[in-house]
A and B are shown apart, each in its own frame.
Chain A
Amino acid sequence: MHLVIEMLRSSVLAATPVLLAGLGGTYTYYANVFNIAMEGMMLIGAFTAVAGSYLAGSWVVGMFAGVAGGLAAALVFAVFAVYLKTDEFVTGTAINMLALGGTTYALRQMFRVKGAFMSPMIRAIPRVHIPLVGALPGIGPAVSGHPFLVYVTLALAILIEWHIYRTRYGLRLRAAGEDPRAVDSVGVSSDRIRAQAILISGALCGLAGVYLSLGYVTLFAENMSNGRGWIALAVIILTRGRPLGLLTMSLVFGFFDGLGLSLQSTRIPPQLTQMVPYIATIAALYLYSREKRGAPLGKVESDTVGKDPGM
C-alpha cells in the first residue's frame, strides 16, 4: 500500500515537467512547427530560474526568470525559423546546442562551478498542502504537498484544451498549421500565428524548467532536462496534441520514471532502471504505430515512405 502511494506520488511529480513542456509543444504542433527546441528551452528555463532565485533570493523572481529564459530561446527560434525562413529542424538543433553550451558556460562563468550548482540561497517554489484531502490517509500524501506548479499545470491542461478548441485563437492556430495560405488569404498572418505559438511554447517550456530546478529538485545540473523535452515531443505525437490526452500520457511516463526510481531500492543496478522511461517511450510509439495501422478511417497516405523534405 505504501509503495503504491509512493509510486503515485512520484508519478505526479515526474509527469509535471513532461506535461508542461508538452502543453507548450501542443501549440507548435497545431501550428505545424517542428519544435525540436523544447529540450533547449527547458534547459535554459531551468538555468535562469536558478540564477534568478539565487540572485534575488526569491522564488517568484526565479519563476519569472525561468519563463523569461524559455521565452528568450523561443524568440530566437521564432526570428530564425519564421522570419528568416531558416529550417525548423536546423534552428531547433542549434538552439538545443546553444542551451547546452550556454548553460554550461554560464554555470562556470557566473557560479564558478562545473557539473552542478547547489546552494541554500536558491529558493524553491513553495509546496501546497490541500487542507482536507491532504489529511486523508492514503490518497492525501499522493495528491497533496506538491510544489504548487503541479496544480497550476493541471489547471493549464484544461484551460489549454479550451483555448485550442473553443476560441478564435485556437481556430486560427489549427488552420494556420493545416493550410497557412488559407489563413493568410483572409488577412490573418500565418507567420504571426506561428511565431506566437513558438513563444507560448517557449514560456511553458521555461516553466517546465522552473519546475525541474526549483520544484522537483533545488539545484541546476548540466543537461538536467535529460531528454524530457524530447519525451514531451513523443507524447505530443502519441496524443496528436490533445491537451487532455497529454495529461494522461504524461502520467503514464511519470509512472515509468517513478518506477525507475522505486526499482533503485531493489537489486537491479540503477543504470538499468534509469533506462525505463526511454524504453517506455519507444514501447508507446510501438503501440501507437500498431493502433494507427489498425484504424479503419486513417487518412490515406499516398506515399508511405515520403516524409517532409524539410525535416
Chain B
Amino acid sequence: MNKNALTALAGIGVALAAGLVILWAQGYPALPSYAALFSYSLFSKFAIVSTLNKATPLILTGLSAAVGFGSNCVNLGQVGQFLIGAMAVSAFGIVCDLPAPVMIPLSIMAALAAGALWAGIAAWLRQRFNMDEFITTLMLNFIADYFTLYLISGPMWDRATYSPMTKMTGSGSWLPMWDGLSAAFVVACIAFVVTWVMWDRSKLGYEWRAMGQNSVFSRVGGCDNEANFTRAMLMSGALAGLAGGLMIMGGMQHRFVKGMGANYAWDGVMIAIVAANGMLPTGLYALFFAAIQTGAMGMELETAVPSEFALVLQAIIVLFVVASRESTRLLINRAAANLRARAAARTAHGGSHGGSRSSGKEGGERSASGH
C-alpha cells in the first residue's frame, strides 16, 4: 500500500514537472502559474469550499467508473447517465413542488433511477444480445446528449430565456448551502461511504471485484456473473445519474442548461483509471482533480494561462501515474536480478561451491516455466 502510494506520488511529481515544462516552453511564468493554481484551490477557506463543490460530481462519476471497470463492465456511458439523471431531476422538480423533506429524497431517487435505467439499457443489450457494452454506452452518450438537447430547446424550453435551458425547478428540491459549501457534497460523501462498504465489505462487492479480476474464476466459484454484471452496471449508472441530479439540486442554477456537466463524466473515467478502481484512491483523486480544475481558474486570472490547461494536466497525470505503476515494478525487479547475478558470479570466481544458495523449490519452479 505504501509502495503504491509512493509510486503514485512519483508519477504525479513527474506529471506536474512535465506540465511545468509545457508552460515554460510556451513562455508562461511557470512557477507563478503553479503557485496560483494551488493558492486558488487550497489556501483559503473560499478556495477549499470551491474545490469541495467541484469535487462533488467528480467523486460520483469517479465511483461510477470505478465500480464499472472494477467489475469488468466497461461502462463508458457516464456522460449519458449523468445527463439523464440531471434531466430526471429537472423534470421532476418542474412538475412537482413539494416540501423539501419529501422533495430531496425523491429527487435523489429519481436521479439514481434515471442513471441506472440508462446504464440498464446497455446491460440489457449485453445480456440479451451479447453487444459490447463499451460501444453501446458510448453511443448512448450521444443519444442522451441530443435527446436532452432536444428537450431543452423544444418541449421543455423556458421561453423566457434566449438559449436552450429548462425552467427552474421548484425550491423544494434545492439543497441547502452552508457558507458556500453545498449539501450536495454531503450527499456525495454518503454515497461514497455506501459504495465503499458495498465494494470492500459486502459479498456482492467481493463478487464484483472477483469478476473484475477474473470472470472465469468467479464463475467457477459459483458467482452469478450475469446477474452481477447487470447489478454492477445499474450501480455504476445510478452513481453517474446522481452526479447529474446533484448538479441541478445543488449549485445556483437549479435548471438543466445546454452544455451542462462539461467534462465531469470523462473526468470520472480518468479518476477511476488513475485510482486503479480503488474506492479510497478514487475519492482522493477526485479531490485532487477538483483542486486542479478550481485552481486553473485562478491561474488564468493571475498568469493568463488558459484554464483548459487543467484538462491537459489531468491527462498527463493519468498517463504518468499509470505508467509508473506498471513499470517501476519491472525496473526494480530487473535491478535486483542484476545484483543477484553479480553476487553469484563473485562466488564462482572464489571457486567455492558451497557458498551460493540455490533459491530452492519456489524459485526453481518458476524458472522452469520461465519466459
Contact = CB atoms under 8 A, between A and B. Distances in A.
Are chains A and B touching in the complex at the 8 Å CB cutoff? Answer: yes
Interface of A: 36, 76, 80, 84-87, 89-91, 93-98, 100-102, 104-105, 108-109, 226-227, 230, 233-234, 237, 269, 271-272, 274-275, 278-279, 281-282, 285-286, 289-290, 292-293, 303-307, 309, 311
B226 A305 contact: yes
Contact of A90 (B141, B142, B322): B322
Interface residues of B, number: 53
A272 B146 contact: yes
A101 B136 CA distance: 24
A289 B153 contact: no
B216 interface: yes
Given A105-B309, A109-B306, A230 B138 contact: yes
B135 A234 contact: yes
A108 B306 contact: yes
B143 A97 contact: no
Give the secondary structure class of B's interface: helix
B330 interface: yes
Given A105-B309, A309-B213, A91 B136 contact: no
Contacts of B216: 303, 306
Nearest to A282: B139
B138 A97 contact: no
Contact of A80 (B74, B214, B215, B323): B323
Contacts of A292: 130
A230 B133 CA distance: 13
A156 B316 CA distance: 34
Interface stretch (B1-9, B98-106, B177-185, B265-273): B265-273
B125 A286 contact: yes
Contacts of A97: 266, 269-270, 311, 314-315, 318
Interface string B210-225: 0011111001000001
Closest 3 CB pairs of A and B: A101-B311, A271-B150, A98-B315
A269 B156 CA distance: 14
A292 B63 CA distance: 34
B219 A306 contact: yes
Contact of A303 (B147, B215, B322): B215
Contacts of A80: 319, 322-323
A120 to B, nearest CB: 25
Contacts of B72: 307, 309, 311
Interface in B211-253: 212-216, 219, 225-226, 229
Nearest to A112: B306
Contacts of A289: 129-131
Contacts of B327: 84-86
Contacts of A91: 319, 322
